[in-house]
Structure 1
Amino acid sequence: MSAPADVPALVASTLDLSRQRGFITSTRHETGRLLAALAASREGTLAELGTGCGVGSAWLSSGARKGARIVTAEVDPALAEEVQKLFADVENVDVVAGDWTTLEQYAPFSLLFVDVREVMESIDVLADLLETGGIAVLDDFEPSTSWPPIVDGQVDGVREQWLTDDRFTAVEMLIDPDASLLIATRR
Structure 2
Amino acid sequence: MSAPTEIPELVTSTLDLSRQRGFISSTRHETGRLLAALAASRTGTLAELGTGTGVGSAWLSSGAPKEARIVSAELDPALAEDVRQIFEDVENLQIVSGDWSSLEQYAPFSLVFVDVREVMEQIDVLASLLEPGGIAVLDDFVPSAHWPPIVDGQVDSVRERWLTDERFAAVELMIDEGASLLIATRR
TM-score normalised by the chain length of structure 1: 0.97
- The answer for the alignment partner of 2:160 in structure 1 is 160
Amino acid at match of 1:78: A
Amino acid at match of 1:93: L
Structure 2: distance between partners of 1:133 and 1:14: 29
Q: How far 1:92 sits from its partner (Å)?
A: 1.1
Q: Does 1:118 align with 2:118?
A: yes
Structure 2: distance between partners of 1:169 and 1:88: 36
* CA-to-aligned-CA distance 1:27-73 (integer Å, 9 cap, x gap): 00000000000000000000000100000000000000120000000
Q: Does 1:186 align with 2:186?
A: yes
Amino acid at match of 2:68: A
- The answer for the alignment partner of 2:100 in structure 1 is 100
- The answer for the alignment partner of 1:19 in structure 2 is 19
* CA-to-aligned-CA distance 1:90-113 (integer Å, 9 cap, x gap): 111000000000000000000000
Matched length = 183
Q: How far 1:6 sits from its partner (Å)?
A: 1.1
* DSSP 3-state at the match of 1:34: helix
* DSSP 3-state at the match of 1:134: strand
Structure 2: distance between partners of 1:132 and 1:35: 19
* DSSP 3-state at the match of 1:25: coil
Structure 1: distance between partners of 2:32 and 2:24: 15
Structure 2: distance between partners of 1:17 and 1:66: 24
Amino acid at match of 1:62: S
Q: How far 1:178 sits from its partner (Å)?
A: 0.3
Q: How far 1:25 sits from its partner (Å)?
A: 1.1
RMSD between aligned alpha carbons? 0.6
- The answer for the alignment partner of 2:50 in structure 1 is 50
Q: Does 1:148 align with 2:155?
A: no
Amino acid at match of 1:157: S
Q: How far 1:24 sits from its partner (Å)?
A: 1.3
Structure 1: distance between partners of 2:183 and 2:29: 17
Structure 1: distance between partners of 2:86 and 2:115: 20
Structure 1: any 5+ residue segments left out of the alignment? Answer: none
Q: How far 1:11 sits from its partner (Å)?
A: 0.3
* DSSP 3-state at the match of 1:18: helix
Structure 1: distance between partners of 2:92 and 2:19: 25
The alignment-based identity, stated in percent, is 79
Which 4+ residue blocks in structure 1 deviate beyond 2 angstroms?
A: none
- The answer for the alignment partner of 2:6 in structure 1 is 6
- The answer for the alignment partner of 1:133 in structure 2 is 133
Q: Does 1:80 align with 2:80?
A: yes
* CA-to-aligned-CA distance 1:91-146 (integer Å, 9 cap, x gap): 11000000000000000000000010000000000000000000000000000010
